[in-house]
Amino acid sequence: MDDISIIEMFRERNENAIAELKQKYDKLCMYIAGNILSQHEDAEECVNTAYFDVWNNIPPDSPDDLRTYLCRIVKNKSIDKLKYNSADKRNSQFTVSLDELADCIPDSAAENSAAGLAADISRFLRTQDEKHRKVFVRRYWYGDNLTKIAELYGMNEKTVATYLFRTRKKLKVFLKKEGYEHE
């Protein structure tokens, strides 16, 4: 079933919408949550909570891209669960990847809208070549570790790390030009 039909089922409050959403995107959602959380049960909980949130938010929300909309909710739920689970324990690979990204996103970004920052980052990524963009997204959206990314793209781990470093550096410069101030 296509996304437009699933969204229409949500608008009609048809309970089969969740089943269709789950059938189409459960594997992807579990992959994202599983990369952030170490416990399978926690990942399942976040994915199921995301389905519930989609049910509660459509309508009034009307996403243009259901896949991205759902993945964003799953990712945010998973990050919240990770924060809850590891209040003072900062040993997760995903926490490390967020720390890497935090170095290039200025503190003043919190003052701007999250949607505006996301749009600016997306615009920046569209200016990058395909491989750099894909490596960046695998690391900071899907939460893949360097080994997994290297395997996916037939690269050396050090090359992946270099790609990420250079892309973060370019992103920092780009965001500065867009008016985000670094301290």
Q: How many domains does the chain have?
A: 2
Type of residue at 95: T
Q: Quickly state the pLDDT bin for 97 (edges 50, 70, 90).
A: low
* Average pLDDT, integer, range 33-54: 92
| Final residue in a domain of this structure, among 85, 113, 144 | 85
Instruction: Read off the pTM.
Output: 0.60
Predicted local distance difference test score (pLDDT) of residue 114: 65
| Final residue in a domain of this structure, among 30, 53, 85 | 85
Residue 182 lies in a domain: no
